[in-house]
A and B are shown apart, each in its own frame.
Chain A
């Protein structure tokens, strides 16, 4: 009995010794695909607030400042750092992914400090998404080696096009991202992560499709998509 207060004091001491940063720099962890009963894109208060907001692209341009340091002024991202290309992406997709990172359904500890409500409100996220959506899509994205494009097309048309569109244009209404013209490195990483359940906010249908894919299959599809011309804005 006597040792209990000491133990508590020790524990408290250990907590106090943590850098103040730790408590809010650390991304929370919410239930994802690894959890039994996981529902993809289940209702989320933060997301509903953003989606209900009448988005203003001009305000979004100002709020985008904090993203720009990595995703670049033209929102083309950085292929060699796996920062995705965001220009022209569906607004709903940007909103959903941001909210999944905020809530801890999509693990991204590196981006987390730049995505919280201390720097962008739900409404500003909607504004940013509207701004990004109307940007011209750059064609200078990172591409793969070009060796297995035929295989990539076959697999894409068979397995992916029904959701992501014949030309990789995605579907904003269904929160399915545009994948055409995305960086090869990013597509490859996210597809592998989805297959291996590391992308915890992934759509279970997508995980199922990817399950039998080899790394080479994923590379072929990613390469094909990186070369697919995105829809004209």
Chain B
């Protein structure tokens, strides 16, 4: 993709290695790259807990015409924009991230606990997550 053209339109973004780091307007950026370039598959959304309650979301898009990967990265607190209306596969990814990182995606109505039980406390892939659910501690005190 044409990086300079992209930077002219979204000027608060920078290039870090092979990923584009943006500050805001996630939905707009994703819409822009899908409409103007050939990125037609959202392969996955990767979430990384950066500490301090900040989570990095990396959107991995792929263009099979140009055989090119595109990584768009954004740092969010505990809310992010949903891109379900652009890529429907994001239902699955966002749900998984909600389940494991506790990030609310505004606009995605399907969010629910996916892997963890419905009444589970906490979000296990966060770095500040402490395993204190007594149901899992199978020791003698608990069995009684």
A and B form one complex: no
Tell me the B residues contacting A by CB distance below 8 Å: none
